[in-house]
Structure 1
């Protein structure tokens, strides 16, 4: 029965309801809480000097540029659920594919602490091994192919594979060079490509594939089929940009429209002076065709075609490649998520 002036809900409530039990803490409660990147003290410029000189008593906030740099570094270091393959391509020679592959390898290798390999998948003779640092050994992909069965066994060891790749010093990545024999007439086919990629993916988390200039070559096609992400390499020359855009047309018309759409375009300045109108038109074009466009400034240590030593690369070039690799990493994260959702 309901007492006059009250509702049934009010009558059913306990007068002295016990308070909710406190949540029992766990071990993770003792861990430091995550601090947003923009809340961490500055380390750059005068702000960073003030923080260091005051021994942390004064903690100026970082500039927007420093926060962006931190965010890019976090992106490059992200983990994936499987080994990832990135293809660097443009059918035009001189588009900057090989320097791009090496500098991406150095950027990822430095940030991730290794487990990165740059593979010269040229159908004839590439220059990745020539442009990178050359250790004592001069073995190439064909030497690895001759002993590939060793690394397809369950007891294969990463230390044994080290004899077939070229370590790049402080850049913390390895190079698998292409054929350097003047008399070899053989070419790598689909089967060889797949076997090589399977072995490399056992020992590396990130496989960067430098390609040749013939999109009809079987190993170029195999790389396109295997790639989780495409990096479109170009300069600000119209003929080079045209070749890159033609390649995207080819991918779209051969059932790889998604690979073309998710690509990252890297525009590298091959001369100190960049043509203003061509630059604007090329950026607009590839912004409409790919997920991101990143510009790399002219660097005198790269342009002449000499060996690329990451230690001598200009700071501005390093920063530009950090942002390029952050865009690549974002694209790989999308590809990783898409693959996991596919039944």
Structure 2
């Protein structure tokens, strides 16, 4: 009733920001709000809106905007808040052309209506005045049954028509209870006691979290590949590993499978030792022995204290000339699958290298990162084309690959409006170009926290975190 009384006049827009500011605009008049936190901003905004509703003596409709999206709420003169339901008006012409669907069948535990006497009389069998109408399971008791007489048409040993087996019946509720909103206007209102359903954006985020939080039977290996340097391979490995470890809680390792020296160790936290993949290979016999304990792997990997995954570094000996072989990849992979559920592999730039090709042999899901620069995109295309041409397992990986397109950093450094637009347009063009050829494409916005130094998930902007979560969920769907 409150919603039907809320008219489109006055036009009210409310904006809630995460930095402790907001704005309520009533018929074009802006009322900026600054407060200590999001809850205080919401309280001031609701006060302004409630005062307007009280002056009018009726509820008002409010369009809300927050980082999580847009919505509609109804605010009454007494301060009560509810979520508005958009009403889609259907014209008579549309009603005449609406498709006709079959009527839904009754729910399994729902009582069905007993056949009418007229329906029984229409059967070919002669009418029997002593015959009682059949009783369906869960239906009301007929007069004959109420008087204690057994229905003449149902033998004592025969199941009544419509009765279901107890094996097919359950009183457990299979659908989980929808938790109230936690984000934006809906979340802020829920914390104030007005229970609001989550927005479509929040529901999508919850689904992505559910996807990456699963535990799969057996280990899973992800290969992050692009034959061109500077394509964002190492940041991609770090971010995917961090999200998998944070949300799933599964033991996760990021492995730098560069044939000589890689950069994964430079962008992550170093442990109390200098060991690399070569040291792990040298100790593989002990690590694979039945008496080996899980904690012994810590002597060879570098734990990321905030993002909860481990890093297996490549050889960083400047004077060394050892290149990892295919056999050594097999040994290292055998060790890591003994200690970890999830393995995310960084790679070099040579698709012909023995360790690169052996990595692909162990891969369950391929991820191809690319910055929105044409030579990086072309290198990614050629990488996928090479795998596809090899057929078999390699081709299947290419067809089911996830391409992650990151916006160029050069345009962001210039801070030019035109350059920023061109960067976004180029990222969109490249993403659209890959879309018909792979399973999923995800775009990542520019974030300065990914450019230099050690990478930390918490250092990213919220929009970047959300984009990487979507990328990890797209990847995990391939498991």
Report the TM-score range of the alignment, normalised by the length of the smaller protein: 0.7 to 0.9
Alpha-carbon spacing, 1:52–1:187, altered in 2? closer, same or farther (3 Å): same
Larger radius of gyration: 2
Q: What is the match of residue 398 of structure 2?
A: 260
Q: What is the match of residue 340 of structure 1?
A: none
Alpha-carbon spacing, 1:21–1:216, altered in 2? closer, same or farther (3 Å): closer
Q: Which has the higher helix share?
A: 1
Deviations 1:174-233 (A, max 9, x none): 000001101111111111101111110111111000000011110000111111111011
SS of the residue 1:139 aligns to: coil
Deviations 1:128-187 (A, max 9, x none): 011011222221111111111111112222100011101111211100000110111111
Q: What is the match of residue 335 of structure 1?
A: none
Alpha-carbon distance, 1:253 to partner = 1.1
1: distance between equivalents of 2:289 and 2:213?
Answer: 30
Q: Which has the higher strand share?
A: 2
Q: Which moved more, 1:314-323 or 1:84-93?
A: 314-323
Give matches, 1:124-163, under 5 Å: 124-163=260-299
**1:294 alignment partner, one of 438, 442, 445:** 442
1: distance between equivalents of 2:327 and 2:157?
Answer: 76
2: distance between equivalents of 1:287 and 1:24?
Answer: 46
**2:211 alignment partner, one of 59, 72, 75:** 75
Asked if the contact 2:267/2:455 (under 8 Å) is kept, the reply is yes
**2:431 alignment partner, one of 283, 286, 289:** 283
SS of the residue 2:182 aligns to: coil
Aligned pair 1:190/2:329, yes or no? no
Which is bigger in relative contact order (C-alpha 8 A, separation at least 6)? 1
2: distance between equivalents of 1:284 and 1:307?
Answer: 31
Q: What is the match of residue 339 of structure 1?
A: none
Alpha-carbon distance, 1:14 to partner = 1.9
Aligned pair 1:47/2:194, yes or no? no
1: distance between equivalents of 2:406 and 2:248?
Answer: 24
TM-score (ref. length: structure 2)? 0.63
**2:473 alignment partner, one of 323, 326, 332:** 326
Asked if the contact 1:235/1:270 (under 8 Å) is kept, the reply is yes
Structure 1 stretches lacking a partner, 5+ long: 333-343
Asked if the contact 2:405/2:427 (under 8 Å) is kept, the reply is no
What is the CA RMSD across the aligned residues, in angstroms?
2.6
How many residue pairs end up in the alignment?
320
SS of the residue 2:299 aligns to: coil
1: distance between equivalents of 2:403 and 2:312?
Answer: 24
Structure 2 stretches lacking a partner, 5+ long: 1-124, 129-150, 413-419
TM-score (ref. length: structure 1)? 0.86
2: distance between equivalents of 1:126 and 1:139?
Answer: 14
Deviations 1:292-339 (A, max 9, x none): 100111111111x3111222122211111100000001111xxxxxxx
2: distance between equivalents of 1:15 and 1:93?
Answer: 81
